[in-house]
Amino acid sequence: MKQKSSLIRNDGFQTFITSIICIILGLIVGFFVLLLINAKGAGKAILAVIQNFFQYPSFNAQLKYFGSTLAKTAPLIFCSLSVLFAYKVGLFNIGAAGQYCLGMGLALYMAICLQCPWYLCLICGIAAGALSGALGGLLKAKLNVNVVISGIMLNWISLYGMNMLLKPAMDPAGKDTFRLVNKAKSAVLPTLGLDKIFSNNQYVTIAIPCAVLVAVIVWIILDKTKLGYELKATGNNPNAAKYCGMKENRNIILTMAIAGGLAAMGGSLYYLSDFEQWNVNANAVPAMGFNGIAAAFLGGLNPIGCIFSSYFITHITMGGGNVDLSHYCAQIADLISAVIIYLCGFVLFFKTLINNSLRKSEERFTEEERAAVKAADAAEKTAAEAAKNPEGGNE
Amino acid sequence: MENYAIEMLNITKRFPGIIANDNITLQLRKGEIHALLGENGAGKSTLMSVLFGLYQPEEGVIKKDGQVVRIHNPNDANRLGIGMVHQHFKLVECFSVLDNIILGVEPNTAGFLQKREARAKVMALSEKYGLQVDPDAIIENITVGMQQRTEILKMLYRDNEILIFDEPTAVLTPQEIEELMQIMKGLAKEGKSILFISHKLNEIMEVADRCSVLRKGKYIGTVNIADTTKEELSRMMVGRDVEFVVPKAPAKPGEPVLTVQGMTVASKAHRNNAVRNVSFQVREGEIVCIAGIDGNGQTELVYGLTGLEPLKAGRIDFLGRNMTRMSIRNRSLAGMSHIPEDRHKHGLVLDYTLENNMVLQRYFEPEFTNAAGFLKKDNIRKYAQRLIDEYDVRSGQGPITPARAMSGGNQQKAIVAREIDKNPKLLIAVQPTRGLDVGAIEFIHKQIVKHRDAGNAVLLVSLELEEVMSLSDRILVMYEGEIVGELDPKKTTVEEMGLYMAGAKRQ
């Protein structure tokens, strides 16, 4: 009994349970939306969403598309880590989308126009994102500009800046940048043989293990180190941080720089895996940054949780792409995954709900025990009184 | 049968791991001032939360005028005529006094405010009970005393019959306290029943008719004030005899530790200088106390000394080093500790655990962080546990209790423990016993004297005249940002000090 209740009180376990509840709810609501639009195809459509790559009959094909899902998961992990890192320090990094964009743009420019090797492209991408993040942090620290405002501004600046920068890297055949395999082979990320494991899926690169590794590092920094202690203290109470001699302005800038670097690393690695090319006429920041917010919260604001929540979100988004378009319009995939992701934001809500009901049942439990306790108390009291010791109640 | 306004009979409230209220009975007669006395964490706040319907008790009933009532939420309490002045006022800073009073019960016709009748009612109440307020003044511009009168008027405007004052004197100057006492007596005479939560025994002795005492969640008893003494009350509250005046040997001042020359600090609230051309010294082995009415530059003086605010002019020397432009961290490393005035703003990271708060000033030391930058969590736990034991910091889950979940007094003890344990050459203590009960005050006073006797300097900033008189070796009185007098506590009186504090006299 006791062990069970302590397990349900465990924060990690609660996060896990509530995330699962949110996922199930999201799928149910998503299903109803499908029913509403077109009842005929709803069952098949929701199945496609859940199945994703499992819909392919051959094991090899399944493995290959599993690899593709993983390749798309990696950048989302980075974006969610970026959001999470800033959030732990009390800042809301809505600029992750722009930083992601900067990481992508710098990496592709270095690769296609300057013919640099992948690691140089990666470093430059990360640096660009970190600088952008630091700029937001600087504005916050020095002029108290809200990071949400500066983040949104920087998102647009980054997007159109990168579109301009990448004009020379555009493949005249379309509106996208050149494929790296054709134009900049040395910039394509190494696979370390991972591609062989996933039925020769060339997009399965070191980006995936990198993402997992970085998640672990973020967890260690936040939880185990002096730096994490300082950053979280600054986020929770900047006045107290100042009082005990921490450099609170430096901490804010550093946090945003790290958050920006993380998102940019996701953008760089993803585009350097050559899985996708950038449309230089894009007029919206990539959704990846915003999905990072959802993934961070679905993961219970835990870096390890982010790995799994990012995978899940990517899984259903890719699954949504397989929905039969004869029954639904082309946007249905986005709609369904959006509904599910939206409900994922309710993790904290359900956590509060669980804790409230726990407290209620605790009260009821004590009521049951009350009789026994009361009897014992009374016995003790009479004993104490008999001993004529007025301080008897004071252990 | 006696005529009770409100009765709380055999209230029991449990929380995981703790019984906050264990079979507590509180009976408030009509027209009396009933004091509720108890140490920090004795269960006073929980009991009041039960009365306001924020918690449901597992056992016990609440009766109003002899009828059993069920209070599910604060609205129920309001309907029963129960009102409360909280320790930290619940006022809208940028609204006028009148707007604050009618907030929530605005008289209106079809949605349009009818302020005229409200104003008439407020003015009538203000006259009847001697509560002077300016109905059109904006809250943020008026004194704390007037803010409190606004809170009282708020209760009266709602025709509350049962008035609860939660540690109302903690924020007031001596003069304002005297006024409040008169107001409370007047309210009781008009038939209001008052519940007065406090741990200031002098005030209870002066104003209350009866007093109920809680200790560690248990009900100890109710006494008539006329038949009791301060000593007996404190014994009931703490469970042992308490020394009100800390025994201390005469000071043996040594070398100067802190020398301040011509210090000027600007205020953050307004542009004027809050501290003007102040010079003084604090030597080894003495406790120097800065006395004064709140808001006469003490806060800014401490900010200037600890580095939270830059100096506009002047020079600070600490142990022979020029400290004027030193960073906060370096001041701390050089041997300065600071018990801050506002424990929630500066003293604690409320979302951190107690153990993490305990190392807030030392987390970077090799004892708690290794060369690679990793925290040594075992050492932090051990260190926190030692401080918790030594300073009797009480909390639900020990070192891993979130600071937010602790009672104010225990939060304060944790800060005091952290700052004194650093063994600083200079301890700057601002209101170190604010919100503490007599037992804890005695303990902290002893620690401060012990620290002095070990050859260290102490700069104490306090608004409590009693504390100033009993603890200090020298008193510096501050008035409007200047030091207007240096007094010897053995040769001066509270009255004389009051004249300096009010600006009527200066040296």
Which of A11, A222, A237 to mutate to probe the B interface, most B CBs <10 Å?
A237
CB contact under 8 A, A363 and B56: yes
Residues of B in contact with A240 (CB under 8 A): 345-349, 360
Tokens representing residue A192 in the block: 């370390």
Domain that holds residue A67: 2-353
Neighbouring residues of A177: CB distance < 8 A, sequence distance ≥ 6: A108, A112, A166, A169, A170, A171, A277, A278, A280
Answer whether residue A36 is part of any domain.
Answer: yes
- Cα distance between residue B428 and residue A38, in whole Å: 73
Whether A34 and A22 have beta carbons less than 8 Å apart is answered as no
ipTM rounded to 2 decimals: 0.77
- Per DSSP, the residues of A54-79 read GGSSSHHHHHHHHHHHHHHHHHHHHH
Residues of A in contact with B376 (CB under 8 A): none
Virtual torsion, Cα A82, A87, A92, A97, nearest 10 deg: 10
Q: Is A243 on the interface with B (CB under 8 A)?
A: yes
- In this structure, the strands spanning B210-215 and B33-38 are parallel
Smallest Cα distance from B157 to chain A, Å: 35
Q: How far lies A213's CA from each of A57, A75, A119, A254, B430, in Å?
A: 32, 13, 17, 21, 47
Chain A residue whose CA is closest to B238: A394
Answer whether residue A387 is part of any domain.
Answer: no
Q: Which of A226, A242, A363 has its CB closest to that of B373?
A: A226
pLDDT for the residue B315 = 95
Strand partners, B353: B402
Answer whether residue A379 is part of any domain.
Answer: no
Which of A2, A11, A225, A244 to mutate to probe the B interface, most B CBs <10 Å?
A244
**CB count in 10 Å sphere of residue B320:** 10
- Cα distance between residue A236 and residue A258, in whole Å: 18
Q: Is A376 on the interface with B (CB under 8 A)?
A: no
CA angle B422, B424, B429 (to 5 degrees): 95
Look-up: residue for tokens 């090797």? Answer: A117
* Dihedrals phi, psi of A173, to nearest 5 degrees: -70, -25
Domain count, chain A: 1
Answer whether residue A369 is part of any domain.
Answer: no
Q: Which of A229, A245, A394 has its CB closest to that of B332?
A: A245
- Cα distance between residue A292 and residue A273, in whole Å: 19
Interface list for chain B against chain A, based on CB atoms closer than 8 Å: 14, 16, 56, 58-59, 215-216, 218, 239, 306, 308, 327-332, 338, 340, 345-352, 356, 360-361, 363-364, 369, 373-375, 377
Q: Tell me whether residue B10 is exposed, middle or buried, using C-beta atoms within 10 angstroms of its C-beta: 0 to 12, 13 to 18, 19 or more.
A: middle
Tokens representing residue A305 in the block: 């949780």
Q: What 3-state class would DSSP assign to B193? A: strand
Q: Is A362 on the interface with B (CB under 8 A)?
A: yes
Q: What CATH homologous superfamily does B286-296+323-501 map to?
A: P-loop containing nucleotide triphosphate hydrolases (3.40.50.300)
- Cα distance between residue A315 and residue A310, in whole Å: 8
Q: Which of A226, A237, A240 has its CB closest to that of B375?
A: A226
Q: Which of A236, A239, A393 has its CB closest to that of B351?
A: A236
- Cα distance between residue B346 and residue B333, in whole Å: 18
Smallest Cα distance from A244 to chain B, Å: 6
- Cα distance between residue A345 and residue A294, in whole Å: 6
- Cα distance between residue B101 and residue B93, in whole Å: 12
- Cα distance between residue A72 and residue A311, in whole Å: 8
Q: How far lies B352's CA from each of A235, A297, B357, B366, in Å?
A: 11, 21, 6, 21
CB contact under 8 A, B345 and A240: yes
Pick one of 3.40.50.300, 3.30.70.1520, 1.10.340.70, 3.40.50.880 as the CATH number of B4-238. 3.40.50.300
Chain B residue whose CA is closest to A225: B374
- Cα distance between residue B196 and residue B342, in whole Å: 24
Q: B345-386: per-residue pLDDT in tens?
A: 899 999 999 999 999 999 999 999 999 999 999 999 999 999
Smallest Cα distance from A2 to chain B, Å: 13
Whether B411 and B209 have beta carbons less than 8 Å apart is answered as no
CB contact under 8 A, A243 and B216: no
Closest-CA residue to B97 (of B62, B132, B59, B47): B132
Q: Which of B16, B56, B340 has its CB closest to that of A362?
A: B16
Start-to-end CA distance of chain A, whole Å, equals 29
Question: DSSP character for B253?
Answer: -
Q: What 3-state class would DSSP assign to B412? A: helix
Q: Dihedral sign, CA of B45, B49, B50, B56?
A: negative
CB contact under 8 A, A240 and B215: no
Q: Is A224 on the interface with B (CB under 8 A)?
A: yes
Strand partners, B457: B426
**CB count in 10 Å sphere of residue B118:** 20
**CB count in 10 Å sphere of residue A283:** 9
For chain B, the farthest-separated pair of C-alpha atoms sits apart, in whole angstroms, at: 74
Chain A residue whose CA is closest to B363: A226
CB contact under 8 A, B363 and A226: yes
**Segments of chain B with pLDDT less than 50:** none
CB contact under 8 A, B345 and A224: no
- Per DSSP, the residues of A132-153 read HHHHHHHHHHHH---HHHHHHH
Half-sphere exposure of B283 (CA within 13 A, CB side): 10
CB contact under 8 A, B347 and A225: no
pLDDT for the residue B453 = 94
Q: Which of B14, B59, B329 has its CB closest to that of A245?
A: B329
CB contact under 8 A, A391 and B58: no
Which of B15, B360, B370, B422 to mutate to probe the A interface, most A CBs <10 Å?
B360
- Cα distance between residue B271 and residue B264, in whole Å: 12
Rounded to the nearest 10 degrees, the angle between the axes of helix A288-298 and helix A248-272 is 110
- Cα distance between residue B283 and residue B457, in whole Å: 6
pLDDT for the residue A389 = 46
Q: Is A363 on the interface with B (CB under 8 A)?
A: yes
Neighbouring residues of A157: CB distance < 8 A, sequence distance ≥ 6: A98
Q: Which of A236, A242, A244 has its CB closest to that of B361?
A: A244
Residues of A in contact with B306 (CB under 8 A): 243
**H-state helical runs in B360-405:** 377-391
* Dihedrals phi, psi of A324, to nearest 5 degrees: -60, 115
Whether B20 and B43 have beta carbons less than 8 Å apart is answered as yes
CB contact under 8 A, B369 and A370: no
Look-up: residue for tokens 């001596």? Answer: B174
C-alpha of B141 from chain center: 22
- Cα distance between residue A1 and residue A10, in whole Å: 14
Q: What 3-state class would DSSP assign to A176? A: strand
- Cα distance between residue B160 and residue B163, in whole Å: 7
Chain B residue whose CA is closest to A364: B58
Q: Is A57 on the interface with B (CB under 8 A)?
A: no
Tokens representing residue B496 in the block: 């004389």
Residues of A in contact with B374 (CB under 8 A): 224-226
Residues of A in contact with B343 (CB under 8 A): none
Q: What 3-state class would DSSP assign to A359? A: helix
- Cα distance between residue B33 and residue B115, in whole Å: 33
For residues B378-414, b (16+ Cβ closer than 10 Å) or e, as one string? ebbbebbeebbeebebbbeebbebbbeebbbbbbbbb
pLDDT for the residue B224 = 94
CA angle B63, B64, B65 (to 5 degrees): 115
CB contact under 8 A, B363 and A229: yes
pLDDT for the residue A378 = 55
Closest-CA residue to B298 (of B433, B173, B412, B463): B463
Rounded to the nearest 10 degrees, the angle between the axes of helix A332-344 and helix A42-51 is 70
Share of chain A above pLDDT 90, in %: 45
Residue extent(s) of CATH 3.40.50.300 domains in chain B: 4-238, 286-296+323-501
Give the CATH number of the domain where residue A204 resides. Answer: 1.10.3470
**Segments of chain A with pLDDT less than 70:** 1-9, 330, 333, 344-345, 359-395
User: B43: alpha, beta or left, given left = phi > 0 and alpha = psi -120 to 50?
Assistant: left
Q: How far lies B195's CA from each of B56, B76, B200, B415, in Å?
A: 20, 18, 14, 30
Q: Which of A226, A246, A366 has its CB closest to that of B58?
A: A366
Q: A66-91: per-residue pLDDT in tens?
A: 999 999 999 999 999 999 999 988 89
CB contact under 8 A, B338 and A243: yes
pLDDT for the residue A393 = 37
Smallest Cα distance from B159 to chain A, Å: 34
Smallest Cα distance from A222 to chain B, Å: 10
pLDDT for the residue B269 = 65
- Cα distance between residue B396 and residue B390, in whole Å: 17
Q: Is A391 on the interface with B (CB under 8 A)?
A: yes
